[in-house]
Structure 1
C-alpha cells in the first residue's frame, strides 16, 4: 500500500509542478503516510520542496481558527452562541439585522451576513501588483472601525456567505478572550497537543531557511503576506508534516485534550445544498451516488504567492494535502482527483 500511495502522491506532485514553481503532496491512508515533492522551493539553491518546507497556507488557516473556537467552547471558555460583541472591546459597534446578533458560530460557518472583505477593501486590490501585502493595514483598530460602518447582507444564521472578514474577526475575538495573540492561541490550543512545531504566523531563524519562496501566477517572486489582526482568516504558515498531524487528528479523533473540540467542530453544520454543508471551519460534500457517494471534507487557500488544499474522508480514513508556491493556480483539482482515487480504491477492496 505504501508503495502505491507514494506513487500516486508523486504523480500528483509532478502534475501540479507543470504549473507551479514547486509543490508538496501528502497522501494518508489510515496509518500510512507518503509525502512527495516536485519542482523547486524557489530558493537560491533550487532544492525540491519536501515534508518540512514551509508554505503560506492562506485560508487553510480557517479550520485552525474554528477548531480554536471549538476548543474554547468545549472547555467552557466561550460559547458557540455567544455574541461576537461580548468578546470585543467595550463600546465596539457590531452590526445586526432584524434583531439577530452575530454569534461566534456564525463567524465559523460563514453565516454571519458579513461581506467577504473588510470595509474599504476591494477584491481586485488583492491581486494588484503595486500592493504586494493587501491585508497589512488590517489592524484591530481599523477592522473594528470598519465593522461599525458595515451592513449585513443577510440575517445572521440564515445564509452562507464566505467571509475573510468574519474569520479574521473570530480569530481576533478568540485571542482577546484567551488573553493572548492569535499565533500564541493556535500554538497553545492546537499545535502543542498535536506536536506541530512548524505551524506559525511569524518566521525566523531555521524556519526562514526552510520556507518556500512565493511566486505570482507567471513565476515572478513576490513578497510574503502578513494579515495583521485579520490573521485568523489566513496568516498561518505550515509544512506537509504538520498538516498531516492536523488532518490525522480529524481521522483518528485526536488526543484527549482535543477530542471533544474535534467532535464539536464537525457536529455543527449549516446546509448549503442537498449534497453540501459547512461545519466549523470546514466545507463538506458527498459525491453523487454514481461517483461513489464518498464524503469529502476540505478547505483550500491562496495568498499572493501560494496555493493550498487539505481534504479528508473520515469514513475511510483517507486524506490528501497539497501545497504550492505559486498563486493564481489552485491545487484543488489534482488534490480532489487524488482523494477520489484513494476513495475508489478503498471502496473496491474486499471486506
Structure 2
C-alpha cells in the first residue's frame, strides 16, 4: 500500500503531486521491479513531505515510511566531511594537514613528487588513491567487516601513486575511509562515538547511527539485491572504512539535515556545514566541495550524494539557495536515483525502461576474460544465464545485461553501460565502460 505523510500538500509546490509520485514509484516496484520498497522525502518552501510505496519484504507487506531504517552507504561520506570541518573549526586539525600526521608512528602513506596527501584531498577525492585497495576481498557477502586496520596500513605501505595528488578527481572509498580512520586516531574515539557527539547528536538525528538501537532494529527494512533477492546487510563499523559508508538512517532524519542546511534549524554544527558547502576549486570542469558532489548552476548550486550497498540505494539532492531538496531511499540495489533527479528538476527525464535482448551464447562467451585499465584496476567478466557478470578489483560482482549484441547495461545502475569492442576480424579487443556519459576504455588482456 502507498503511504503519504499528513503534511498538507502546498498548491505551489515545486514537486509533483502525491499521486504523480506514487505512479512513478509503483512503476519501479511493480512494473520494472527495480525495488521492493521506496521512500521519498521532499522539502520545498520550508515544508517537508514524505511519499512511499512498496513493502518491507516478501514476508512483510507493510509499506516503509519516513521513519523506516535503511543503509545509506556513501552518504556517510558527507558526515565524515562534517566531522573533518568540525575538528578544523575546533583547532584539532587543519584541512591541509598531511594524513600521515594523524596516524600512528611508523605507518607509511604514499606520496608523489614530494607532495603528501592532505585531509582535504581525501574528502574531495583528489588524493590520487584508488577507489579500493587491492587487498580487499570483494567476494565476501559482508566484505568490509573483515577488512582490518592492519590490512589498510599494509596496502598504504606498498602502494605507489600513479598520478600527482590534487590533479585528478577519482572517487575513492579508500580515501574517505582513511580520512575517517585518521580522525578517530586524532580524537582517540571510535567513528560511531565521534559522529554521535559531533554531528547527529547536535542535529537531533536519533535514527542515524552505525549500531542499531532497539527501536531502529524494529524499523529496519531488509535489503535486496538487484534481482530482488534478500541479502545480508553490510557492517562497515568495525573496519577502517566506517567513514566511507557505515551509517544507517531514515528519510525523516535526512530531511532534518536538509532543514539545517537550509537554515530552518540552528545547531552548533552550522559553521562546519558551511565549510562543506564551499566550492574549493574546479578540476576538469567539475566543482569541488568537501564531501558533496557539487555543480554551480546560475545563481545556485546543486549539491548531492548517493549511496549504495549490497541491498540498498539512497540519494540526497538539493539546491541550497532555493531551499529545495529530495531524499530517496530504496531497499534494493537497483538504480532508482533518476527519480530524485526528476523530482528536483522535472526537465531531467526519468530513465527509460531497459529491454534485455537474447544474445547467442558463443557471443557471450567471447566477451569473458580480463580487462585492464591499469595494473591495480582490472574487471573480470564471466558468463551467467543469458547475461554476464563483471567484477572490478576490490569490488563485488554485478550483472550486465545485453541491450544488443555488443552493448550491456549494469543491473545496479542503469546509467552504467559496458560496450564490447571488436576488431576487423571479429576478435574482442577491449571494453568501454560508460558511466553517466564518461567513457573509459579497458584493454582485454586474457
Q: Normalising to structure 1: TM-score of the pair?
A: 0.89
Aligned-partner SS, 1:73: helix
Determine the structure 2 residue equivalent to 1:348: none
Pair 1:206–1:111, CA change in 2 (3 A) = same
Determine the structure 2 residue equivalent to 1:331: 336
Pick aligned residue for 2:38 from 19, 23, 40: 23
Pair 1:273–1:294, CA change in 2 (3 A) = farther
Q: Is 1:319 matched with 2:319?
A: no
More strand by share: 2
Determine the structure 2 residue equivalent to 1:266: 277
Determine the structure 2 residue equivalent to 1:283: 293
Determine the structure 2 residue equivalent to 1:299: 305
Q: Are the counterparts in 2 of residues 112 and 154 from structure 1 also a CA contact under 8 Å?
A: no
* Structure 1 Cα separation of the partners of residues 147 and 213 of structure 2: 22
* Structure 2 Cα separation of the partners of residues 309 and 74 of structure 1: 28
Pick aligned residue for 2:166 from 154, 157, 164: 157
More helix by share: 1
What aligned pairs does 1:22-171 form with structure 2 within 5 A after superposition?
A: 22-42=37-57, 44-121=59-136, 125=138, 128=139, 131-171=140-180
Aligned-partner SS, 1:296: strand
Q: Is 1:257 matched with 2:268?
A: yes
User: 1:342 deviation in Å?
Assistant: 9.6
Aligned-partner SS, 2:268: helix
Pick aligned residue for 2:256 from 231, 241, 245: 245
Work out the number of aligned pairs and report it: 331
* Structure 2 Cα separation of the partners of residues 224 and 241 of structure 1: 21
User: 1:268 deviation in Å?
Assistant: 4.5
User: 1:43 deviation in Å?
Assistant: 6.9
Aligned-partner SS, 2:240: helix
Q: Are the counterparts in 2 of residues 23 and 324 from structure 1 also a CA contact under 8 Å?
A: yes
User: 1:255 deviation in Å?
Assistant: 2.4
Pick aligned residue for 1:220 from 226, 229, 246: 229
Pick aligned residue for 1:181 from 187, 190, 210: 190
Stretch moving more, 14-23 or 109-118: 14-23
Q: Is 1:2 matched with 2:17?
A: no
What does the per-residue CA deviation read over 1:2-31, in whole Å, with 9 as the maximum and x for residues that have no partner?
365552554443344342011100011131
Q: Is 1:203 matched with 2:212?
A: yes
Unaligned regions of 5+ residues in structure 2, if any? 1-8, 349-446
Aligned-partner SS, 2:305: strand
Q: Is 1:341 matched with 2:346?
A: yes
* Structure 1 Cα separation of the partners of residues 68 and 262 of structure 2: 23
Aligned-partner SS, 2:307: strand
Aligned-partner SS, 2:160: coil
Pair 1:99–1:340, CA change in 2 (3 A) = same
* Structure 1 Cα separation of the partners of residues 339 and 310 of structure 2: 20
Pair 1:251–1:78, CA change in 2 (3 A) = same
Determine the structure 1 residue equivalent to 2:401: none
- How well do the aligned residues superpose, as a CA RMSD in angstroms? 2.1
Structure of higher RCO (CA pairs closer than 8 Å, 6+ residues apart): 1
Unaligned regions of 5+ residues in structure 1, if any? 344-351
Q: Which of 1 and 2 has greater Rg?
A: 2
